[in-house]
Structure 1
């Protein structure tokens, strides 16, 4: 009767665990042999959007907030799961004292509760995914003009996705500048879990 873990990183995990991923990559890079790069190519810049989000103050705040919301959801579902489990045990304990009809009725009622619990678990998982998507999208919106700004400041003629490259001269990497600009613009914003059941109810009444 348990549902899949709803931790920050369960759905679209790359967006939720950017900071942790960046740290892991940094450790891997530190252990890897040093590479001698050729001269930086004038006008060619590289950037990692994921590393910029994960390394920013607002990105780390979003990750922490998503984990907090996930913990609340898991606590809610755990309480219901425990109640259902306890009822199942109580039914089995009382089986010898119940008539067949009474036993079947309690089992049927329990199955209804279990089905509702499973539907709620699936709904909460979708809500967490949408919440995460919107939060990351908000960071992307805040960062987009900053990328253009850094692009112009660094006099880039071409900006490549660093995550799609095997290797690149760090001198061409403008990710740190974007992180600095993002930290200066926004460090956190309020958001809560999306309520898809309320959205569906609203759509039905309109």
Structure 2
């Protein structure tokens, strides 16, 4: 299912971020560049307790969706086998057309649930970002940054210029976990 692929991609992205952090620890860096700072949203989401609660909440929701969709998928597969066992399928057969209609409804429901999961992820990530924003701004000023780069565009950098670990520490204090959340419906204007 696409839901499993989405979850696997998210976990792979987090694992790649952790591997990247380990690779940086083995490199000898030059002196930090005054006023240049970096920040990694991916690492902050992966390492913060709020990000971890987001991940576990999304896994819970994905399991709920899978539990909702699985009976439909099983029923459709069973009906398809029955139709095939009756001989060559006639596209004009009413039973086949009814099955086609249920298949389309299932696919639409699956797409709707996937969109809801993506939207829920985006809204909860936005909530974490809203909590992290003032922390990042304060650190930017505390460290005397003149420019803040997204760490995803920096191949290697001196860790002394990275704000991420401090952001995670302060974010864990400000937002130790996300409030319980459910799957959110995508607003009609965003469905298009």
TM-score, normalised by the number of residues in structure 2 = 0.82
CA 1:68/1:17 → structure 2, altered by over 3 Å: closer, same or farther?
Answer: farther
Deviation at 1:145, TM superposition (A): 0.6
The alpha-carbon deviation at position 176 of structure 1 amounts to 0.7
* Relative contact order higher in (CA < 8 Å, ≥ 6 apart): 2
Report the CA distance shift for 1:67/1:17 in structure 2 as closer, same or farther (over 3 A): farther
Unmatched tracts of structure 2, length 5 or more: none
The alignment's TM-score, normalised by the length of structure 1, stands at 0.77
Q: Deviations along 1:42-77, whole A, 9 cap, x unmatched?
A: 232222122112211101110111111112112221
May I ask how many residue pairs the two structures share in their alignment? 184
Which of 137, 140, 162 lines up with 2:126 in the alignment?
137
Distance 1:24 1:35 in 2: 13
- Asked if the contact 1:84/1:110 (under 8 Å) is kept, the reply is yes
Judged with a 3 Å threshold, the aligned counterparts in structure 2 of structure 1 residues 192 and 183 are, in CA distance, closer, same or farther, namely same
Q: For 2:6, what is the secondary structure of its paired residue?
A: coil
> Does the CA contact (< 8 Å) of 1:45 and 1:159 recur in 2?
yes
Q: Is 1:23 paired with 2:12?
A: no
Structure of higher CA gyration radius: 1
Indicate the residue corresponding to 1:203 in structure 2: none
2:67 is aligned with 1:75: yes
- 1:66-105 → structure 2 map (5 Å cutoff): 66-93=58-85, 95=86, 104-105=93-94
* 8 Å CA contact 1:46, 1:174 repeated in 2: yes
Cα deviation 1:154-177 (Å, max 9, x = unaligned): 232332222211221111111111
Shift of 1:110: 1.6
Within 5 A, what are the aligned runs for 1:189-200? Answer: 189-196=179-186, 199-200=187-188
CA distance in 2 between partners of 1:85 and 1:158 (Å): 56
- Give unpaired runs (5+ residues) of structure 1: 201-206
